[in-house]
Amino acid sequence: MLPTHSIPGLVELHPFGPDPTSDAPLDLLIEVPHGAAGPDEFFALARRLRGALPEHLERFFFVNTDIGAYALSEAILTRVLAARPQTRGVLARALVPRTFLDVNRLLNASAESYASGGVTAGVPSFITDPHDLDLLLGLYADYRAAVDPLWARLAPDGLGLTPHTYAPRTVGITQVDEHIVKSLAACYAPGVEETWPLRPQVDLITTTPDGEDLAPPGLADDLTQRLLAQGVRAERDSSYNLHPVTLGHYRSVEWPGQVLCFEVRRDLLVRAWTPFEPMEADPEKVAPLAEAFAAAILARWA
């Protein structure tokens, strides 16, 4: 069991390696910005908000949050530490539901910028109450204050991972507004859901809109082959790219050649894909992907 430093409702920090309380440079930093995946986390923040919210908003949370991302991160880390116990680093898991605040966004971007990147806004348009906006902006500032200093400690040969998971299909949602729950219900109606395009099993998000590849040299190619050996097909930037409105882009620009952002399809990780209900990761389904990721990480230090 890793030691935990938790800021309730904000972030869990799990340092690992020799003397995990020291400020020494980090070999491995895993940041899970959409780590809030359970109903308790959703309703805890919902109760703190004063403004009216769309009815049954938790259904949007369940279909949209990155279920399995933290379980995969833990499984990767377990395998890395088993093979290389001297690895020093931190596993950081955000506890803020992205339904209300997406900490993987730069909040000074315009609605047009978010749309051009094919990503949701940092704060959704249905949050309008001044108290709620102040609360969420404060949480964002506190999250950055807790996690940004960890990135500043990344060693020159260190590696940063930002794992995400996404729904199996790209559905026809063009706007996240007060009608989002009804819009999603229409997209996932029987006979409609299966008509939407299937996403890649794994998508390695490595390239900026200008075509600059910021991923660790050779890692994406190596990982692609290792995943294929496990029966999992990876693609590059098929869903979206490293857009400047995302914190993943910011991390990759600040530490070029040291950060890998990626998406894994949730149905490859959970026991059953039930879009409007809570889901749990299945350790047996997580294991093959974790093996491939851990092996690719360890190969960098061989």
Cβ pair 227, 289 in contact under 8 A: yes
Mean pLDDT of 52-62: 98
With a pLDDT cut of 70, the percent of the chain lying above it is: 96
Q: Over the stretch 169-210, which tens digit does the pLDDT of each residue have? A: 999 998 899 999 999 999 999 999 999 999 999 999 999 999
Alpha helices in the chain (DSSP H): 39-46, 58-64, 69-83, 111-116, 130-152, 180-187, 219-229, 247-254, 283-300
How many CA atoms within 13 Å lie on the side-chain side of 147? 30
- If one compares 21 and 149, the residue with the highest pLDDT of the two is 149
Averaged pLDDT, 211-240: 98
- Report, as an integer, the average pLDDT of 136-155: 97
Give the C-alpha separation, 112 to 106, whole Å: 13
pLDDT at 109: 66
pLDDT number for residue 3? 58
What domains are defined for the chain?
Answer: 5-300 (3.40.630.40)
Query: Residue 258 gets which letter from DSSP?
Result: S
Q: What is the pTM of this model?
A: 0.95
